[in-house]
Structure 1
Amino acid sequence: MTTHYDDSFGLTTTWDDNGNARIRITGDLDWDTAAELTRTAADCLRTEPAPRRLRLDCEHLTLCDSLGLASLLMIHRHATEVGTRLHLTNRPAALQRLFETTGTSHVFGDAAPDAHDTDRGNGGEQGHAAAARAPRPPAQP
């Protein structure tokens, strides 16, 4: 059996004039690539001062497995610790289904604003991605 690494995975980090970071994810977020995303996001979150917002642009994300989900959860935890708002933009339907299936949609529940909404009012939370907003699951008795 031959193991083939998908070399199409890539991360592109950009910063806007307001000090907000954006990481564009391309390819599969899985066993082979999740640690790279976690490190890249941690590097952004370690800057002084930490960014107000960190956007993970998922437009070109092709797959997210359990380790990819774990990476996203670790990034969320780290962002929360340093006071940075984490937004997942351009979520593919498969990623939203993963969140719903695993009960993590409430963690990433705010529909991330479009990149053009960077600094409008409340942060643009009513951007075009609002249709991807998943309801919070009811509290268990």
Structure 2
Amino acid sequence: MTTHPHHLQLTTVYTQDSVRIELHGDLEYDNADRLVQEAAVQLAARPALTDLHLHCADLGAVDSMGLSALLMIGRRTAEAGVRLHLDDRPAKLDRLLDLTGTLEHFTAPPPTGAVKSSVVPTGPDGTT
């Protein structure tokens, strides 16, 4: 059996209020969904999460599906009120984000006064 030399490997490290997912290898069509799924699992499992860090130093190639995965994670973190960080971005990732007009989207500071939303459970009749 042969393996792709740049197969994506994910390492997840978490604390009480933040999660760091380290990306090793290429983020592409064949594996981008793995990253989205891992981020979704972490968001669902940790309602008190404030920050999701994607550590990109060992990230290889990123194709359009990889970029789509990053954008999807950005949408999901925004919906959850969690700050997304693309840490230690290699120059080639910055170039891709710049060319696609998404660099500022990922690197802009959060809006001031942003508050994490909370959902209040209601009973069957709609009362709390």
Give the TM-score band, short-chain normalised. Answer: 0.7 to 0.9
Q: What is the match of residue 61 of structure 2?
A: 63
Alignment of 1:84-103 (within 5 A): 84-103=82-101
2:47 to 49, 52, 57: 49
Counterpart in 2 of 1:114? none
Q: Give the CA deviation at 1:92.
A: 0.3
- Matching residue of 2:126: none
| Aligned mates of 1:97, 1:8 — CA distance in 2 | 22
Aligned length, in residue pairs: 108
CA distance in 1, matches of 2:97, 2:48: 26
Indicate the residue corresponding to 1:76 in structure 2: 74
TM-score (norm 2): 0.78
After superposition, the Cα gap between the structure-2 partners of 1:8 and 1:48, relative to the gap in structure 1 and judged at 3 Å, is closer
Q: How many Å separate the matches in 2 of 1:88 and 1:26?
A: 14
Unaligned residue ranges in structure 2 (runs of 5+): 110-128
| SS class of match (1:87) | strand
1:79–1:85 CA contact under 8 A, matched in 2? yes
- Contact kept, 8 Å, 1:12 with 1:24, in 2: the verdict is yes
How far 1:50 sits from its partner (Å)?
4.2
Q: Contact 2:6–2:26 at 8 Å: present in 1 too?
A: no
Partner secondary structure for residue 107 of structure 2: coil
Larger radius of gyration: 2
**Residue by residue, what CA displacement relative to the aligned partner does 1:40-89 show, whole Å, maximum 9, x if unpaired?**
00101112424100000001001111100000000000000000000000
Give the TM-score, by structure 1 length.
0.71
Residue in structure 1 matched with residue 122 of structure 2 by the alignment: none
Q: Counterpart of 1:33?
A: 31
For residues 83 and 14 of structure 1, the distance between their equivalents in structure 2, rounded to whole angstroms, comes to 20
**% identity of equivalent residues:** 42
The residue type paired with residue 80 of structure 1 is A
Q: Are positions 1:23 and 2:21 aligned together?
A: yes
Which residue matches 2:121?
Answer: none
Whole-Å Cα distance in 2 between the matches of residues 37 and 48 of structure 1? 17
